[in-house]
Amino acid sequence: MKSQLRRVIVGNVTYAVEIDPAYPLTAGWQVSLQEACRAHPAALVWDDLIVKKRRGFRPEAFRLVWPRPDKLFYQQVDHAGRCAVRADFVGDEAPGATSRALLRIIDEERPIAFSSDILRFTRSVKSSVYNPIAPPPAPSARADKISVIINYRDQPELMEACLESLASQKLRSRLEVLLIDNQSSPDSLARIASSAARLLSAKAEVCHIRYDKPFNKSAQDNLGIETASGDVTVMMNNDAAFTHLDALQTISDWAATPGVASAGPLFTGEGGRLVSSGVFIRPAQKSSHTIIRENELVTFASTVHYSAGSSFGCAAVSKAAWANVGPLDTETFRSQYNDADVFIRALRLGLKHVYVGSVTCHHEPGRSEARTKQLIQNLLRQLMERHPDAAQYAGTDPDLIKYGALPQFESARANAWMTLVHKTRQLGRLARTIGGRT
């Protein structure tokens, strides 16, 4: 059954709503829509409810938080069936009319609103409704010269894999590679220098820099950026390796785009596992404070969109943006969350971060540096104390938030799923109670 266009009158304004029977809406959505549109924005976009399995067979419901209006993102995905648009923006009755109208509204920078009171049930994060319908946008600028900074201490096998991935890149820009050694052994130095000469001498200027002090990634990156001669600098971990041939050029071109602070790729791990699809900021909840972390959401992972940041495991930054944002903090954030501190400073200046899901980089977190849970928690607390305004930048990246009270839907099939979720939750609680008594 094809989607159907309905019209809902709110006050003196008529809204066009495209209903897709495959994705049922919550019961009473029309009343909720009328209440949400009292301020008469040009459009109102609601959220999706997704059921996913956690801890074995126990399903739980999550609300998908869509990004705020984003010209990069919204042109790639179909919004038909999940938004209400003022009827005077809808020029035809064909499927996808409201989605096209929403793009026009965003292009004209008209106000839109989001509502978590109206939910569309999509059942799975792998639903076909999340497949992009258009190719990702291309950057509008081109980097003239790219400087890649790689910090290392020994581990020549990791460095060789990283350098091999650099050597395989298809580039239109000139390339400079700065290798910053942090007290490696003579054997490691010799092996890495030999690999760099063999792999990169034909396509890049290679500069060896010695940092003969205790490990401080922020200080080492600052040193590299000060030395770099490119208009775009890429900070890259020694345990990272590009897996798309045009990844380096693509993220560098995005970073060279005016108004962009950083650009980073999709990160994959062993077996192609998704490691990171951007960075999100989540406002404080009842039992937690505001957090910033790398996104692990598969939904929209292949799209290009604005994000809350770009992990410095592999991220491109223009010299111009860096001059405005300022260097990494070498005291409080010597390694972990040093990039997050920069993310928020850049957002505060009105700059944007771009997640480039069309290209990938292999990176297994923690391979190049030891971490502890307590250390990470302490640093996150210090970060949020420094940036108490961080929550205002939430909503720049898709996010999944656990849903509490399960809603009722117009569809009997959707309600049957919600009943199953509720009963399975009860069984899970009962099993944990019995297990605690034995």
pLDDT for res 68? 85
Q: What is the pLDDT of residues 179-230, one digit of tens each?
A: 999 999 999 999 999 999 999 999 999 999 999 999 999 999 999 999 999 9
Percent of the chain with pLDDT over 90: 70
Find the mean pLDDT for residues 266-278: 94
- Residue 10: pLDDT band by 50, 70, 90 thresholds? confident
Residues above pLDDT 70, as percent of the chain: 95
pLDDT tens-digit series, residues 372-417: 778 888 998 999 999 999 999 998 999 999 888 889 999 999 999 8
CA 36 – CA 424 distance, rounded (Å) = 33
pLDDT at 3: 79
pLDDT score at 56: 63
| pLDDT the model gives residue 360 | 97
What's the mean pLDDT when you consider all of the chain? 91
Residue 368 has pLDDT above 80, yes or no: no
> How far, CA to CA in Å, does 429 sit from each of 60, 149, 287, 422, 424?
13, 50, 20, 11, 9
In terms of pLDDT, which residue wins out, 399 or 57? 399
Higher-confidence residue of 287 and 225: namely 225
Q: Tell me: the pLDDT tens digits for 229-251?
A: 999 999 999 999 999 999 999 99
Q: Looking at residue 371, what is its pLDDT?
A: 59
What is the structure's pLDDT at 52?
83
pLDDT of 347 over the 60 cut: yes
What is the predicted pLDDT for the residue at 423? 86
What's the 3-state SS for the chain? CCCEEEEEEECCEEEEEEECCCCCEECCHHHHHHHHCCCCCCEEEEEEEEEEEECCCEEEEEEEECCCCCHHHHCCCCCCCCEEEEHHHCCCCCCCHHHHHHHHHHHCCCCEEEEEEEEEEEECCCCHHHCCCCCCCCCCCCCCEEEEEEEECCCHHHHHHHHHHHHCCCCCCEEEEEEEECCCCHHHHHHHHHHHHHHHCCCCEEEEEECCCCCCHHHHHHHHHHHCCCCEEEEECCCEEECCCCHHHHHHHHHHCCCEEEEEEEEECHHHCEEECCEEEECCECCECCEEEECCCCCCCCCEEEECCCCCCEEEEEHHHHHHHCCCCCCCCCCCCHHHHHHHHHHHCCCEEEEEEEEEEEECCCCCCCCCHHHHHHHHHHHHHHCCCHHHHCCCCCEEEECCCCCCECCHHHHHHHHHHHHHHHHHHHHHHHHHHC
Residue 369 has pLDDT above 60, yes or no: no
Confidence check: pLDDT of 367 > 60: no
pLDDT for the residue 1: 53
Please tell me the predicted confidence (pLDDT) of residue 436.
61
